[in-house]
Amino acid sequence: MDAIRGFTGEHGYPPTVRDIGKAVGLTSSSTVHAHLANLEKLGLLRRDPTKPRAMELVDRATRGVKGFVSGPGLPVVGHVAAGSPTVAEELIEDHVEVPQQAGGRDGQFVLRVRGDSMIDAGILDGDLVVVAEAKEARDGEIVVALVGEDSEATVKRFFKEGKKVRLEAENKAYKPIITDQVQLVGRVVGLMRDVR
């Protein structure tokens, strides 16, 4: 990544595979391609395979570097229940550009919502919630939490009640979850919805 960032900063455009190989001491273009593919899988790089110089680092450190798109791309890492808790799938499904107004400045990842327990907060089934990693939350904040021995993931409002936590739905059809077995994953800082 440093070679890509450095070349782009110096020249004003992204490097070719050959430029990257030269910068890091690799003579085999297939080895460079393999490293670039790994960066893509990790969500750190986006490329257009039809254009030799069309690559974009998905890294906040590239903001302001000439030649890069500055919008943050965040990984979509599965789904979270807005209903009964379910096991979160922590696999990167996709990457999405998240505008600052939708939480892109503070978020680290995105989860797709399943269920209707948060509809009164405007969070609908199929929405994408932008999450900032956090181990603590203030009362009333909307959080993603792992609940119980099975670490089931859910999105709810957070309230501390003595030694326990109350996770409150925003739908009267759901009862609150009151537990001392909760691990915060993060705070919901934004929301995106496809209206097509």
Is the model's pTM score more than 0.85?
A: no
Same domain, yes or no: 158 and 87: yes
Provide the CATH number for the domain around residue 28: 1.10.10.10
Same domain, yes or no: 150 and 106: yes
Residues recognised as catalytic: 117, 156
Same domain, yes or no: 82 and 22: no
- The whole-number mean pLDDT for each consecutive block of 10 residues of the chain, a chain of 196 residues, reads 78 84 89 83 75 69 42 68 53 72 77 93 94 92 88 91 96 95 91 85
Question: Distance between CA atoms of 113 and 90, rounded to whole angstroms?
Answer: 14
Query: Given this model, what pLDDT does residue 51 score?
Result: 72
- State the residue for tokens 């309230």: 159
Question: Distance between CA atoms of 107 and 16, rounded to whole angstroms?
Answer: 30
Same domain, yes or no: 89 and 182: yes
In a domain, 138, yes or no: yes
Query: Given this model, what pLDDT does residue 59 score?
Result: 54
Same domain, yes or no: 99 and 37: no
Question: Distance between CA atoms of 144 and 118, rounded to whole angstroms?
Answer: 12
Query: Given this model, what pLDDT does residue 81 score?
Result: 67
Do residues 144 and 186 lie in contact, with contact meaning Cβ atoms separated by under 8 Å? Answer: yes
Same domain, yes or no: 121 and 77: yes
In a domain, 106, yes or no: yes
E runs forming strands in 148-196: 152-161, 164-168, 177-179, 182-192
